[in-house]
Amino acid sequence: MRLRLTLLLLLPFWSAAAQEPPRIVGGPGAGCIAGAVELPPEGPGYETIRRSHSWFWGYPSVISALELLAQRAQAAGLPTLYMNDISRPHGGPTAGLHASHMLGLDADVWLDLHLKPTLTPAQRDALQVDSLVAPDGRGVDPGRWTPAHALLLRMATELPGVDRVLVNPAIKKQLCLETIGNRSWLHLIRPWYGHSAHMHIHFRCPPGQPECRDQPPPPPGDGCDASLDWWFAQLDKPAPPVAPARPPKLPAACAAILQQSPSPGRG
Ligand SMILES: [Zn+2]
């Protein structure tokens, strides 16, 4: 009885917090989000991994799109997907992550299409996924790459609201080589550093978010051109010096948003 009373007393606070309207302030590289929701630890077609050092909060439509990707992958017969790194409860900078993932509009989905074993929580937390890229960086590892990887990447470009999907240049190159028929989706597959074992899905600012700033859209075309060759030319050059990371200049409105207590998860 006492438990039920406690739950009843807590309920108004929970629903009040859950109804906080989502609000994204800022753009790629500096921003924050209010009213984010949390991706549940697992759901149809996916499991989250590395939970003790990842954040799983995102804009509501982004979380729905990730769940949709997992459901579509499952319906297509693909194995369970591993997901991690979305955003902190209110976005903003995340230790150790590149400058994105601040707006609740970015998610990392692992390109691991093995059948998934049942893992202990500790194993799931420490999981490492093998690279799909050959050691010389010039192509995919033919022993690991499969047509299912191309299918999953295409499915990611077809999600509602997706802006671009970042992968290693060697993965983009492989898609350029093997995609026949409809190649229009290659437009949204963009080469980037790293990303040899996971894809980074970036979503556009959702409608009704006037304080959210998009980056310019990808250039027209399938991107299987000199702009892709550029990445491989860099492999022959000495690595450029790494500029020291500067803390991002967050929009003023983020100071208050980052101090709020997080919304409750969805159970
Ligand atoms: Zn990422």
**Interval 34-59: pLDDT, tens:** 999 999 999 999 999 999 989 999 99
Give the pLDDT confidence score for residue 50 in this predicted structure.
93
User: How much is the mean pLDDT over the chain?
Assistant: 90
Count of alpha carbons within 13 angstroms of residue 89, beta-carbon side: 13
Give the pLDDT confidence score for residue 240 in this predicted structure.
77
Give the pLDDT confidence score for residue 232 in this predicted structure.
96
d(CA 71, CA 77): 10
Cβ-contact 258, 23 below 8 angstroms = no
How far does the centroid of ligand 1 lie from the alpha carbon of residue 75, in Å?
Answer: 25
Ranges in the chain, pLDDT < 70: 1-19, 96-98, 262-267
Cβ-contact 91, 33 below 8 angstroms = yes
Cβ-contact 42, 51 below 8 angstroms = no
Give alpha helix (H) positions in the chain. 2-18, 60-75, 121-125, 147-157, 169-178, 226-234, 254-259
Q: What is the pLDDT of residues 137-154, one digit of tens each?
A: 999 999 999 999 999 999
How far does the centroid of ligand 1 lie from the alpha carbon of residue 199, in Å?
Answer: 7
How far does the centroid of ligand 1 lie from the alpha carbon of residue 253, in Å?
Answer: 24
How far does the centroid of ligand 1 lie from the alpha carbon of residue 192, in Å?
Answer: 11
- pTM here is 0.90
